[in-house]
């Protein structure tokens, strides 16, 4: 956590540290956890970061003694007997991600009040931390929208919305592309969550798979191996909303500067500016590991 304080004010380092920790905590708690669902690289320098990608490759069986190794990305595959390369040719490439700077701040007329009033301090830290959290999630959603997933599912369209059958098709699509079964995330809208909670094939006493705890809380933590994240940031036209299923390594988040807080008195405003800032960007890394699910709401 970076800390910035104006030496010309009465802001102590102890208070700056405390408030910065409050904002950081709010950022972590108020985010929809999309940042925990993607591949994160921190301490990035420069305005562009390149994620390295290496697609599925093959292996050499019974390589002859002293014979050169043929790497997975070599298209020639010129091996002599008894060595044999089995499998596809791996694609070794990079995906560029452009970082953006984000700021969220507010003026406080009485800094002494925010020092002593715990409720006021909590209100400001949650507002600033929440704004930066939404910005991080929005960057990931924008990268999903701007990317071109290998699979786009329209099966959830119609009066049924998102249902069990659609999720099984998404599950099968990722399995068919050999996407690892762990670290999968399903990001859906509140309306899509309601669709799942009212799907009798999921919640019926006979063959339902959603636990009583999920029904009691109104939230589904996971389903079919997907960790479920509900977000209000997903794009939509008049009736169709884009939801997504993806593997962690298929989406990237490059962080140049993590959340930091500055507290500075501004004479022109006769107030103190509390400012949170960060630098990051997101990109779709592997199209095979992302499924776009178009849901009618």
Kindly state whether residues 163 and 227 are assigned to the same domain. yes
Kindly state whether residues 64 and 115 are assigned to the same domain. no
Higher pLDDT, 208 or 284: 284
Kindly state whether residues 14 and 108 are assigned to the same domain. yes
- Which CATH number belongs to the domain containing residue 38 in this structure? 3.90.1690.10
Candidates 143, 33, 130, 158; CA nearest to 95 is: 143
Kindly state whether residues 235 and 109 are assigned to the same domain. yes
Kindly state whether residues 81 and 101 are assigned to the same domain. no
Candidates 58, 87, 56; CA nearest to 289 is: 56
Kindly state whether residues 132 and 43 are assigned to the same domain. yes
When divided into structural domains, the chain yields a total of: 2
Kindly state whether residues 78 and 215 are assigned to the same domain. no
Burial of residue 59 (number of CB atoms within 10 Å: 0-12, 13-18, 19+): exposed
- How many residues are given for the chain? 297
- What are the pLDDT digits (tens) for 238-278? 888 999 999 999 999 999 998 888 888 888 988 888 899 99
**DSSP SS3 for 106:** strand
Kindly state whether residues 120 and 240 are assigned to the same domain. yes
* Max mean pLDDT range (102-116, 143-157, 225-239): 225-239
Q: Residue 152 pLDDT > 70, yes or no?
A: yes
The residue written with tokens 């959830």 in the block is 156
Kindly state whether residues 160 and 221 are assigned to the same domain. yes
Kindly state whether residues 114 and 193 are assigned to the same domain. yes
Kindly state whether residues 76 and 98 are assigned to the same domain. no
Q: What pairs with residue 102 in β-bridges?
A: 278
**Full residue range of the structural domain in which residue 74 is found:** 56-90
Kindly state whether residues 71 and 197 are assigned to the same domain. no
- What are the pLDDT digits (tens) for 169-217? 999 999 999 999 999 999 999 999 999 888 877 876 555 666 666 667 7
Average pLDDT for 116-143 = 86
């Amino acid at each position: 956590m970076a800390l910035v304080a104006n030496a010309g004010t009465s802001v102590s380092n102890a208070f700056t540290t405390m408030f910065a920790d409050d904002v950081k905590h709010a950022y972590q708690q108020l985010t929809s956890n999309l940042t925990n669902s993607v591949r994160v690289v921190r301490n990035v320098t420069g305005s562009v970061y390149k994620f390295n990608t290496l697609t599925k490759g093959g292996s050499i069986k019974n390589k002859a003694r002293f014979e050169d190794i043929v790497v997975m990305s070599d298209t020639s595959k010129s091996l002599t007997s008894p060595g044999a390369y089995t499998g596809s040719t791996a694609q070794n490439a990079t995906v560029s991600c452009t970082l953006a700077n984000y700021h969220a701040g507010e003026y406080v007329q009485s800094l002494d009040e925010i020092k002593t009033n715990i409720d006021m301090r909590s209100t400001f830290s949650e507002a600033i931390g929440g704004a930066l959290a939404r910005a991080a999630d929005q960057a990931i959603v924008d990268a999903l929208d701007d990317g071109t997933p290998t699979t786009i599912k329209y099966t959830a369209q119609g009066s049924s919305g998102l249902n069990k059958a659609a999720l099984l098709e998404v599950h099968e699509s990722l399995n068919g592309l050999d996407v690892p079964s762990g670290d999968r995330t399903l990001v859906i809208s509140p309306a899509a969550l309601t669709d799942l909670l009212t799907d009798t094939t999921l919640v019926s006493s006979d063959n339902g798979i959603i636990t009583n705890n999920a029904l009691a809380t109104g939230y589904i933590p996971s389903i079919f191996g997907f960790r479920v994240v509900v977000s209000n940031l997903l794009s939509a036209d008049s009736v169709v909303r884009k939801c997504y299923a993806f593997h962690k390594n298929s989406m990237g988040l490059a962080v140049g500067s993590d959340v930091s807080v500055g507290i500075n008195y501004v004479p022109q405003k006769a107030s103190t500016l509390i400012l949170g800032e960060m630098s990051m960007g997101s990109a779709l890394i592997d199209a095979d590991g992302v499924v776009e699910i178009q849901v009618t709401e």
